Amino acid sequence: MNLMRSMRLWFAVWSAFAAIGATLAVVPALAQTSNSSSTGVAYSIQLQDPIDPATQKWVSSALDDAASQHAKLVIIRLDTPGGLSDSMRTIIQDMAAAPMPVVVYVSPNGARAGSAGAYITEAADVAAMAPVTNIGSATPIAIGPGGESQDLSRKIKNDAAAGMRALASAHGRNAHLASLLVTQAKNLTAQEALKDNLIDVIAPDQATLLQKLNGFHVQGPKQQVLDTSGLVVQNHDMPFIYQVLEVLVNPNVAYLLLLVGILGLIVEAFSPGLIAPGTIGVISLLLGLYGSFQLPVSLAGVLLLLAGIAMIIGEAHLPTHGILGASGIAAFIASGLLLYDTNTSAFEISPVVVVIVGLLLGGALAVAVQKAVKARREPKRTGWEEMVGAIGEVRVVDADGDDRRALERGSRVRVESVEGLTLHVSPAAVAHVAEPSRAGP
């Protein structure tokens, strides 16, 4: 009986300790959850690069993540010279579709919202800037050797200006001034933009920004009064996978990878078995194609690239004395300049890079193809094939009848063919040179 009572006592004591421990573990978690739900989260991301498919995917992913965390507010810390119009439009659409208000905050001091960045700022539910920043220069730029006709340029500019007016007007801002950012490439400081109602707030940092937004009346589709008191700012940097994507979609990198891939595959095709050129070529070509598929590609650039390859291969087979090879390298350079139709100076391919890469890789490709073709035309120097046509001397005769008389020991023979370990030979004609006669004394 005493043993049973002792066991029950110990069981009761341990149960009590377990209950106390569980209570101590649950209460802080409940308090933290309650505190988090009462304060809320301001989901903040950094967008400080040209607007391209990589940054567009990053913003879209971040907005989805913020929605899944039930963030009260999203802050996009913007610093960009501009970028691709297609990526910009997708970002604007994602911002409009986000369930929470989106604040575009041009920061830190010294940052700018240029070109596409100005559109994104005006599309925000709240447009904010740090004190020493600027916004503007949103005029579309024609990229290409001949530019564009005046009529087409005017149409593009008018369309862009109308889009900017619509964004500003929808959020209660100065639509006329917003239009001037496009038609006159106007650029404004943060103070000028706030004074002329192009933006809503100036703040030196995010903490001050949230203080100034407390009680702010959001205009537009997400019209509401903001309550930012106690919001906790969560800063998020671009993940590594999007940083890699940003490198791949750079026009200079994509063009370089394409040429390296083409060079590797052609060398492997003309010299089978090297493995390394083919492996490097496949990987480079796939990466280059992936980056290129994210960019606007022109048909003229693709055709010039294919023409360059054909000319360099043709140079190795035809006696053009370098004309086709030089033309192929020139086609490579022209294709690089025309391949990506980005229509923005903030995201264009560098002519210096194109010329250097075109000369180096195009020249290397021409030399490699010529050497490979020359090597394939030469007679084989390894294996049994090299024995055909060789001249030898008979050392042992194992034949009957006429064959024995034709193949005397020491006679010269020519190898006609090889069958397994048997050599089929025929007498070799040997030219005899008469020795000069020696005159007697």
Sign of the torsion formed by the C-alpha atoms of 85, 88, 93 and 94: positive
User: HSE on the CB side for 66, CA within 13 Å?
Assistant: 32
Residue 32 has a pLDDT of 38
CA-wise closest residue to 118 among 126, 130, 127: 127
Helices (H), 339-419: 351-377, 402-406
Distance separating alpha carbons of residues 128 and 78, to the nearest angstrom: 10
How far apart are alpha carbons 313 and 262 in whole angstroms?
12
Q: What is the pLDDT of residue 96?
A: 95
**Maximum Cα interatomic distance, the chain, rounded to a whole number of Å:** 147
Closest CA relative to residue 120, chosen from 99, 156, 90, 98: 90
Each residue of 96-130: pLDDT tens digit?
A: 999 999 999 999 999 999 999 999 999 999 999 99
pTM: 0.70
Q: Which amino acid is at 352?
A: V
- Indicate the SS3 state at residue 179: helix
Identify the pLDDT of residue 368: 67
Q: Residue 144 and residue 343: Cα distance in Å, rounded?
A: 8
Mean confidence (pLDDT) of the chain = 79
Q: Which amino acid is at 242?
A: Y
Which range (162-171, 186-195, 333-342) has the least confidence?
333-342
If one compares 17 and 53, the residue with the highest pLDDT of the two is 53
Go through the chain and tell me how many residues it has: 441
Mean pLDDT of 45-59: 91
pLDDT band at 33 (very low <50, low <70, confident <90, very high): very low
Q: CA 101 to CA 218: how far, in whole Å?
A: 8
What per-residue confidence (pLDDT) applies to 409?
67
CA angle 150, 152, 154 (to 5 degrees): 65
CB 413 within 8 A of CB 427: yes
The two counts, helices (H) then strands (E), for the chain are 15, 14
Does 186 have pLDDT greater than 60? yes
Q: Annotate 119-142 with DSSP letters as a single string.
A: HHHHHSSEEEE-TT-EEE------
Owner of token pair 């025309």: 338
DSSP 196: T
Mean pLDDT of the 394-413 span: 63
Residue pLDDT, tens place only, 234-282:
999 999 999 899 889 888 899 889 888 888 887 787 777 778 888 898 9
Q: What is the pLDDT of residue 28?
A: 40
Tell me what pLDDT residue 407 has.
63
